[in-house]
A and B are shown apart, each in its own frame.
Chain A
Amino acid sequence: MGKKVLVVDDDQSLLKLIESAFKSKGYEVVSLSKGNDAMNYLKDESNVNSLSLLVLDRMLPDIEGVEILKFFYEKYQGKVPVIILSSLSSEKDVMEGLSKGATDYLTKPFNVEVLLQKAEKITR
């Protein structure tokens, strides 16, 4: 079975692009556009057990991506790597994301190929 990735982003076009990029590399993709849905998905340990990677947008309309990250890291202790996507590019924001448990941090605008490369390395 291929690697499974959960992508959470409220930007539908970007979500679709990331989804198809991952699919083209053989990943199984679960796409969610709401923070609450992502939270519910991640609360179920059986879902997390089958995940290889979480790609999380930092700014979601209903919950802050960082809150999801915090919950995820506290519950699963870095069991699954996380890549944060964000338009917040200051050093402070990047440091905050990494300190709360993200494995990597990509600032928008980003190159989808770079995201795939990072995902490939992290999930190897």
Chain B
Amino acid sequence: MIDYHLLTLFLIGEAFILLFLMGMIVFHRIFRSFSDRVIAKKKDQFSQYYLSLIESKKPFSVQEHPKVGGNEKILLETIEEFKQRIGGELWYSIQKGVVDSFLISLARKRAKSFFWIKRNFSSRVFALKAYPEDEETILKLMDDKKFLVRSPASFASVYLESQRGVMKLVQTIKNEYGYSQFIYLDALIQGSEKVFQYLIDIAKDPLYHKIILKVLAARSWGRVIPFLESNFNSGDPEVRFLSLKVLMRNPLPNTSEHFFKGVLEQDVGIRALSLEGIGAYPTDQSSAILEKALNDSVWEVRLSAGKALKRLGQLGINILCRQKEGVALEVAKYVLVFG
């Protein structure tokens, strides 16, 4: 038999829970919009102060700085936003002043926190400015189980020019997969001359040689890379391929020779990359090689040759336009429209 009394009580209970949850949602929304406004107001206050300093070219002063009063997270976000937009000595001195006066001591305390949000705060502060005495803390943060703590700490170690930090980063790139690798590579690419020297030393270890080549390939370092020449005699096609990539941005005295040799390789990637490199040397020999490569058996290689010809300017465009038949005509048409 149905107990209507119990059923009614149950329904009333459910209605109360529903009303309570709705009330919580409404409260949360009101609270959120209020807190968003407070945050925006505080951010605006900090921003206005920094803008006024930059406009009037005045140095940072703790006394004139708006009160922080427990709003260190908002302050950190404001500084990070400025860092994305403004450069120059004046801004760097303001940034240093703010970090030294309001953030670094808190970052040091929070680095050991149980809560990852606090450790994340620490890492982000160190990524703005860190001192040699923070090296151990940063190295520990680089081992954190949370990626959002590890990644800013990696940038901090590079800014600090920490040799152990750079080594740890290279090891991390070897051990981690996917998207996170790009973040670590990005950190190393932003490294200084000193970091570059560490990378050259680490590259002596065959275990990390290819990783270092990937880093070196992503930036023009303005230095001759000592092992590059001998890499072209390596039996490993991946090493030769990566070395060509490095060569694209970091030339050697005989750069073009390596590209001309690369065209004769079996490896498709090497052939395509070499043709791209040849495109930077507008000579009759280059044009002839590129035109011949328009008939290569592999689309990727033909496409690379076509694009390189287009980059040569009118001379290359004339070569593309005179293609009459077969795969060369196909790739020429494609490059002229989409390349």
B84 proximal to A (CB < 8 A): yes
B-contacting residues, A33-84, CB 8 Å? none
Partner of B85 from the list A20, A24, A109, A113 (CB cut-off 8 Å) is: A109
B88 touches A (CB below 8 Å) = yes
What 0/1 readout, one digit per residue, does chain B (81-102) give for beta carbons within 8 Å of chain A? 0011111110100000000000
Chain A facing B: main interface SS: helix
Is there an interface contact between A112 and B47, defined as CB atoms closer than 8 Å? no
A113 and B88 contacting across the interface, CB-CB below 8 Å: yes
Instruction: Please give me the residue from chain B that is nearest to A11 by CB atom.
Output: B85
When distances are taken between beta carbons in the complex, the residues of chain A under 8 Å from B86 are 14, 17, 109-112
- Give per-residue flags for B31-72: 1 if the beta carbon is below 8 A from chain A beta carbons, else 0: 000000000000000010001001100000000000000000
Bound form: Cα–Cα A17–B47 in Å: 11
A16 interface hit (Cβ, 8 Å): yes
CB distance from B304 to the nearest CB of A (A): 15
Q: Does A1 contact B (CB under 8 A)?
A: no
Contact A13 B51 (CB under 8 A): yes
- Are A21 and B85 in contact, with the CB atoms below 8 A? no
Q: Are B54 and A17 touching (Cβ within 8 A)?
A: yes
Residue total for A at the interface (Cβ-Cβ under 8 A): 16
B contacts with A, residue count (CB < 8 A)? 12
Please give me the residue from chain B that is nearest to A106 by CB atom: B87
Question: Whole-angstrom distance between the alpha carbons of A114 and B86 in the complex?
Answer: 11
Q: Are A109 and B87 in contact (CB under 8 A)?
A: yes
In the complex formed, the residue of A with least CB distance to B218 is: A90
Contact residues in B for A25 (Cβ distance below 8 Å): none
Separation in Å of the B177 CB from the closest CB of chain A?
23
Contact B51 A111 (CB under 8 A): no
Q: How far is the CA of A14 from the CA of B84 in the complex (A)?
A: 11
Assembly CA distance A13 to B55 (angstroms): 12
A-contact bits for B162-204, CB 8 A (1 contact / 0 none): 0000000000000000000000000000000000000000000
Q: Are B83 and A21 in contact (CB under 8 A)?
A: no
Cβ of A123 under 8 Å from chain B: no
The residues in A between 1 and 40 inclusive whose CB is less than 8 angstroms from any CB of B are 11, 13-14, 16-17, 20-21, 24
Interface pair A14/B55, CB less than 8 Å apart: no
Q: List 13 A-B contacts (CB under 8 A).
A: A13-B47, A13-B51, A16-B51, A17-B86, A24-B55, A108-B85, A109-B83, A109-B91, A110-B86, A110-B88, A111-B88, A111-B91, A112-B54
Known: A11-B85, A111-B87, A112-B54. 10 other contacts (CB 8 A): A13-B47, A13-B85, A20-B55, A108-B85, A108-B87, A110-B87, A110-B88, A111-B89, A111-B91, A114-B87
